[in-house]
């Protein structure tokens, strides 16, 4: 198995991406195709080439975070994102991981790989739980701003299938995000979707509310891409806020106990403890409904997050998720 990794994407590219890819090659024994400037990559990872199954694929262009997604993929055919997605299209790699411009990755996936035949709408799914034991897979996290009820039903199917394939959860609980738990609560889209979801074979538990997200009430949280994007970014914003507060608090604690802090570090290092809960360290977002295994890692991913995203890419490829979605669609 070979995973293509966008070495030019993300705030900490190329160094943290390369580090994460090397770690993944060591830990998972998987082949890695690093996509980016060969010259830079050689300096960073050249010494690993003989020891690990790592190759370089040249891509001379980079898509910046502020570029218009569709324009960028059209005008930069030699960008790491377009080159990486093309490798996937040509069957040269099994999955593509990028911490770059998520809109551009989505657009490249749509245009180059195409959506799975019969799929109403591809979507972005990602975990937003802070507690690793309470999975919360949000779908759609931002791809489809305007949705119809049948789109949300399809997101529920893809999310449920993904959770069962990747996490082995037999019948994931599916919740529909709304402003109240009762079936009558919600906007028109939610009320109609609630009705449709009841008539599926999914383990639909009904409407859920914002405070249910972190409670583990449902493993699959279905919503439109407008609301999903706002929820995802709200959670991220609070999280960043807390991380910096915790860092401060940790420094205060450390200062107070300067003498003994070294030996008691495990109990006082709240900063590292909170970092363990960072949902962005685990895996990444998945493009579901397109012909290929594409994982979007967070823009601020460092080595561990990249390594974990590659791990998720491996699991997604091993389980042939796009093929399963195709079968689900034909049912």
Bridge-based pairing state of the strands 285-288 and 123-127: antiparallel
Q: Rounded to the nearest whole angstrom, what is the least distance from the CB of residue 259 to its own copies in the complex?
A: 10
* Residue 227 lies near its own copies (rule: CB under 8 A): yes
Q: Rounded to the nearest whole angstrom, what is the least distance from the CB of residue 185 to its own copies in the complex?
A: 8
Q: Rounded to the nearest whole angstrom, what is the least distance from the CB of residue 187 to its own copies in the complex?
A: 5
- Measure the CA–CA gap between 30 and 216, rounded to whole angstroms: 32
Please identify, using beta-carbon distances, which residue of 167 and 239 lies nearer to its own copies: 239
Whose tokens are 């037999």? That residue is 170
Among 25, 108, 231, 296, binds its own copies (CB under 8 A): 231
Please identify, using beta-carbon distances, which residue of 164 and 178 lies nearer to its own copies: 178
- Measure the CA–CA gap between 117 and 83, rounded to whole angstroms: 23
* Residue 237 lies near its own copies (rule: CB under 8 A): yes
- Measure the CA–CA gap between 8 and 37, rounded to whole angstroms: 8
Among 200, 240, 323, 327, binds its own copies (CB under 8 A): 240
Among 67, 183, 209, 278, binds its own copies (CB under 8 A): 209
* Residue 234 lies near its own copies (rule: CB under 8 A): yes
Question: For residues 314 and 27, is the Cβ–Cβ distance under 8 A?
Answer: no
* Residue 207 lies near its own copies (rule: CB under 8 A): no
Please identify, using beta-carbon distances, which residue of 164 and 207 lies nearer to its own copies: 207
End-to-end Cα spacing for the chain: 29
Stretch that binds its own copies, among 71-79, 82-90, 111-119, 231-239 (CB under 8 A): 231-239
Stretch that binds its own copies, among 164-172, 232-240, 282-290, 321-329 (CB under 8 A): 232-240
In the chain, the largest separation of any two C-alpha atoms, in whole Å, equals 66
3-state secondary structure of 290: strand
Q: What is the CA radius of gyration of the chain?
A: 20
Please identify, using beta-carbon distances, which residue of 27 and 248 lies nearer to its own copies: 248
Question: For residues 147 and 225, is the Cβ–Cβ distance under 8 A?
Answer: yes
Please identify, using beta-carbon distances, which residue of 36 and 125 lies nearer to its own copies: 125
* Residue 132 lies near its own copies (rule: CB under 8 A): no
DSSP state of 127: E
Among 232, 287, 295, 296, binds its own copies (CB under 8 A): 232
* Residue 226 lies near its own copies (rule: CB under 8 A): yes
Stretch that binds its own copies, among 83-91, 192-200, 270-278, 285-293 (CB under 8 A): 270-278
Question: What token pair was written down for 79?
Answer: 């960008």
- Measure the CA–CA gap between 6 and 60, rounded to whole angstroms: 12
Phi, psi at residue 31, to the nearest 5°? -75, 140
Segment 140 to 159, residues that bind its own copies, using CB under 8 A? 142, 145-146
* Residue 256 lies near its own copies (rule: CB under 8 A): yes
User: Which residues, 6 or more positions from 168, have their beta carbon under 8 angstroms from its beta carbon?
Assistant: none
Question: For residues 239 and 298, is the Cβ–Cβ distance under 8 A?
Answer: no
Whose tokens are 């977002």? That residue is 285
Question: For residues 32 and 310, is the Cβ–Cβ distance under 8 A?
Answer: yes
Would you tell me which residues interact with its own copies (CB under 8 A)? 130-131, 142, 145-146, 177-180, 185-188, 190, 209-215, 225-227, 229-242, 245, 249, 252-253, 255-257, 264, 267-268, 270, 273, 277
């Amino acid at each position: 198995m070979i995973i293509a990794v966008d070495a030019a994407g993300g705030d900490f590219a190329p160094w943290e991406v390369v580090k994460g890819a090397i770690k993944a090659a060591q830990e998972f024994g998987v082949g890695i195709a690093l996509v980016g400037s060969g010259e830079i990559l050689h300096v960073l990872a050249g010494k690993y080439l003989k020891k690990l199954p790592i190759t370089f694929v040249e891509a001379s262009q980079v898509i910046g975070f502020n570029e218009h997604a569709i324009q960028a993929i059209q005008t930069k055919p030699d960008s790491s994102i377009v080159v990486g997605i093309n490798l996937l299209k040509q069957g040269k790699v099994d999955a593509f991981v990028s911490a770059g411009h998520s809109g551009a990755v989505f657009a490249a996936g749509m245009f180059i790989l195409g959506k799975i035949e019969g799929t109403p709408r591809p979507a972005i799914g990602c975990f937003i739980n802070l507690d690793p034991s309470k999975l919360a897979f949000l779908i759609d996290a931002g791809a489809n701003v305007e949705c119809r009820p049948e789109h949300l039903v399809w997101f529920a199917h893809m999310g449920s299938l993904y959770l069962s394939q990747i996490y082995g959860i037999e019948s994931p609980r599916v919740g529909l995000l709304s402003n109240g738990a009762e079936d009558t609560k919600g906007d028109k889209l939610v009320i109609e979707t609630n009705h449709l979801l009841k008539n599926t074979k999914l383990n639909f538990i009904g409407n859920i509310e914002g405070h249910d997200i972190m409670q583990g009430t449902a493993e699959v949280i279905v919503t439109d891409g407008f609301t999903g994007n706002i929820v995802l970014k709200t959670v991220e914003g609070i999280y960043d806020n807390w991380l910096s507060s915790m860092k401060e608090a940790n420094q205060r604690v450390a200062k107070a106990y300067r003498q003994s802090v070294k030996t008691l570090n495990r109990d006082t290092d709240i900063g590292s403890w909170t970092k363990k809960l960072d949902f962005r360290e685990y895996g990444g977002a998945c493009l579901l409904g397109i012909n290929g295994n594409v994982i979007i890692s967070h823009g601020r991913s460092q080595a561990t997050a990249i390594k974990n995203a590659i791990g998720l890419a491996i699991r997604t490829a091993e389980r042939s998720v796009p093929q399963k979605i195709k079968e689900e669609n034909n049912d």
